[in-house]
Amino acid sequence: MTADASTHAPTVAPSPLLTAPGAVAGDGRDAGVAAHYGDPGREQRLLQEGLAVVDLSHRGVVRVSGPDRLSWLDSMTTQALKQLPPHASTESLVLSPKGHVEHALHVVDDGEVTWLSVEPGTADDLVAWLDSMRFMLRVEVEDASDQYAVLGEPLGSESTPDELRERGVIAWRDPWPALGADTAAYSSVESHPGADRVWRELIVPRADLVAAVGDRPLAGTWAAEAERVAAWRPRLGFETDHRTIPHEVDWLRTAVHLHKGCYRGQETIARVHNLGRPPRRLAFVHLDGSGHVLPDAGTPVELAMGDRPVGQLTSVARHREDGPIGLVLLKRNVPVDADLVIGGVAAAQTVVVDP
């Protein structure tokens, strides 16, 4: 159901921060940076307190320049970008002609260049596709992953946006989990658990990566992933596969503008939004933590009283407060109060996308 998250390996060199004390390298999609630095629970606490920074230098960085860049990106992606103000952030998707998610873009424009932070290993494909769509427009596309690196930190950390700009740092503010009037129906609750987990990415020259961290404590991707899962935040290649549409994973709220002009895949967006019936739905699960082993992402989900798969575990994490948690992609007709079993482990679901 869901693509293997290891299918797109990072294409940049391993991070110099892997030499930090206690660093243990990640694997799969998160290879090249630290999974943790010896104490994931403490790292998660420091993230929650707004003190730690996460090495995301395995993410791709794409630069789009030229006077036509915003209107051009607007015409091809799901978000309204024509009037994006300098240093404002948003999120957008590249869809297939049939409306399936192909790329997830973290977008910020500095007034001269539009910066796109993308999943590890996906920048090459994105740049190739964008280059093929330039035609006669005044735009230039560059994979800048070998020149720039990404750091993640909770909003409210040491520097304000103005201070960051003075240092030449590009900052992207995560719009998740803002609820819009047109899209709130896709989320089962008005008070989203990610409301207090505001996140930003800093794009810094790769040569300045270590200096940009300074003396702040480091947190690994395990801690960041636990916070992501707890906030019900979908991730490309984890909660998505070759047939995912934005409605299924609650991306309609932050990454899709429902009233803009035509773009690739728009017909599917409009049809499913008007009918209100995505074929699958994202759900959050608490896993029974009495055992020592948790199921791996990709494990089939079954009903407690059945023996046929009804979905798949897409992400799993150990959260310092919530315990073992995960995200699952379920068939739409799975009852919202059904008890689930994942790899022999009992799981209780919380609805994210209302069927």
- End-to-end alpha-carbon separation of the chain, Å? 18
Instruction: Provide the CATH topology of domain 16-272.
Output: Gyrase A; domain 2 (3.30.1360)
**Domain boundaries of the chain, sorted by first residue:** 16-272, 279-351
Q: What is the model's pLDDT at position 176?
A: 87
Torsion from C-alpha of 182, 183, 188, 192, nearest 10 degrees: -110
Task: Report the pLDDT value the prediction gives residue 198, as an integer from 0 to 100.
Answer: 76
Q: In what order do the strands lie in the sheet with 170-173?
A: 170-173, 199-205, 148-154, 53-55, 218-219
pLDDT computed for residue 6 by the predictor: 46
CATH superfamily placement of domain 279-351: Aminomethyltransferase beta-barrel domains (2.40.30.110)
pTM above 0.75, yes or no: yes
pLDDT at residue 4, rounded to an integer:
47
Cα 103 to Cα 49, 123, 126, 140, distances in angstroms: 31, 9, 7, 19
Strand partners, 150: 203
Q: What is the mean pLDDT of each run of 10 residues along the chain (355 residues)?
A: 51 92 97 97 94 97 98 97 94 98 97 97 97 93 98 78 80 77 47 67 96 96 96 97 96 92 93 90 94 92 91 97 96 95 96 90
Q: What's residue 178's pLDDT?
A: 54
Please tell me the predicted confidence (pLDDT) of residue 187.
53
Tell me what pLDDT residue 182 has: 46
Distance CA 334, CA 32 (A): 38
> For the sheet containing 60-65, what is the strand order?
89-95, 101-109, 113-118, 60-65, 140-143
